[in-house]
Amino acid sequence: MRVLASLVALTLLALGTSSQAQAQAPIRVTPSSRAEVQSSFSPVVKQAAPAVVNVYGKRVERRQNRYADEFFERFFGAPGQQGPRAQRSSVGSGVIVDPSGLVVTNNHVIEGMTEVRVALADRREIEAEIVLRDPRTDLAVLRLKGNNSPFPALAFGDSEALEVGDLVLAIGNPFGVGQTVTQGIVSALARTQVGISDYQFFVQTDAAINPGNSGGALVDTGARLVGINTAIFSQSGGSHGIGFAIPSSMVKLVVESARGGGRTVRRPWLGASLQAVNQEIADGMGLERPMGVLVTALNDKGPAAEAGLKRGDVVLAIDGQGVDDPEGFGYRFALKGIGGATDLTVMRGGKKQTLAVKLISPPETRPRDVVRLRGRSPLAGATAVNASPAVADEMQLDLSIDGVIVTEVEANSVASRVGFQKGDVLLAINGERVSSSKDLERITARGGMGSWEITINRGGRIFTSVLGG
């Protein structure tokens, strides 16, 4: 059973005149030592809370009605006649990180939303535009509209300097009840096996975080932003004391991209596939324990191959910072940004060496040529693009992937109901090879002959399905 020390706010009884009571009022200071933990965090809250906002997203859509049609019945239903307008909404939290009105929140808070409004701590409501979405980190950046700046903003803290046991506060809007502050400690660092986003390297805290806290602030005792609260581990939907925040180092990188006018975040490309090192691999490499990441494949024209990295190497560190799994490596590598080079510490043949890897973006070896499929085919509702190193890197696919990749599948579409998934690589339809997205568009527009034979690559497994008929 875990026992937590509670914070006790000292309250003095009002005695005598109001001036006497004022003179006897306690001086509130931020705790700076164990002995001062009986003081109050109100100075931190007063400084940080005005910059934490509520984010409201809304999307108006039409309900779909099913109708009798032999083809669409065969494929488990499809978008049909337009029905009444339905309104979907989301509620979350956000943090103002620039006095000009830049707000950072979770991408899942505003995902699919067409209208976004932000409610400030002083009860003002302001319309916001979506400046940047970054699904890979589950972050999004908004800009408050109008000429109301400067806004209260939180300064970034150094999440790299956090230690397990540090005191932190979580500020957000749980369950939509209004701004709420909870207190706890940093329970763990560098959590990588959470399964929330591509870049997993979370700060774990036991500060109470609940639905609606998404996008809210995790602050240190200096009222600095050290994380964006993004998820909880829960079997009931409420807080069990296991919450996860995106470290401020990654948040800052995304915000800087938005400040520079970017609509997306540019990240360096390694051009290599990695796997975790287990005890067997560690013994074979002469390592004292499982550490680092094993290089399992290389793109011949990628930065890793150019730097001299080889299949079977174990990468132990990036610029001296140790890595223990592919997720941790990906996070550390992404923080380096574009330009210059970074040093990898590599174990090869029982000896350590240092290799300098260039920090460049993955190339678009051919145009994406985005195709959104409609009409009467089992792929209706899917979006597909031409494969390239850039697309493969974004979608965390195999380095050797070639062909046409499904990047999106609309909910309740024919493609969704048939079972197509984001990341599927389309290889052939009705015996005809799919070499480009334009090929895909042409073949599906032509229609099938009563049935469709589609060959795909899903996670390295190639299979063919026959639909209809």
Residues designated catalytic: 108, 138, 214
Q: Is the dihedral of CA 380, 382, 383, 384 positive or negative?
A: negative
For the chain, the straight-line distance linking the first and the last C-alpha, in angstroms and rounded, comes to 61
| Closest listed residue to residue 217, CA positions, set 330, 55, 100, 56 | 55
Instruction: Write down how long the chain is.
Output: 469
DSSP 156: B
Name beta bridge partners: 248: none
For 103-133, give the secondary structure using H, E and C: EEEEHHHHCCCCEEEEECCCCCEEEEEEEEE
Residue 352 neighbours by CB under 8 Å, 6+ apart: 316, 345, 346
Whether residue 179 contacts residue 168, with contact meaning beta carbons closer than 8 Å, is answered with no
Q: How far apart are CA 457 and CA 460, in angstroms?
A: 6
Nearest residue to 118 (alpha-carbon basis) of 45, 57, 47, 179: 57
Residue with tokens 């535009």: 129
Question: Which of 390, 463, 468, 381 is closest to 428 using CA atoms?
Answer: 463
β-pair type (371-372, 341-348): unpaired
Q: Which pairs count as long-range contacts for 387-394, CB under 8 Å and 24+ apart, including other chains?
A: 387/425, 388/362, 388/363, 388/364, 389/269, 389/271, 389/299, 389/302, 389/362, 389/363, 389/364, 389/365, 390/269, 390/361, 390/362, 390/363, 390/364, 391/364, 392/362, 393/267, 393/269, 393/362, 394/136, 394/362
Three-class secondary structure assignment of 424-442: CEEEEECCEECCCHHHHHH
* Of residues 62, 102, 51, 69, the one with CA closest to residue 84: 62
CA–CA dist 10, 14 (Å, integer): 13
The Cα–Cα gap between 179 and 173 comes to 5
Look at residues 156, 150, 145, 148 and name the one whose alpha carbon lies nearest to residue 95: 156
DSSP secondary structure code for residue 450 in this structure: S
Other CB atoms within 10 Å distance of the CB of residue 461: 7
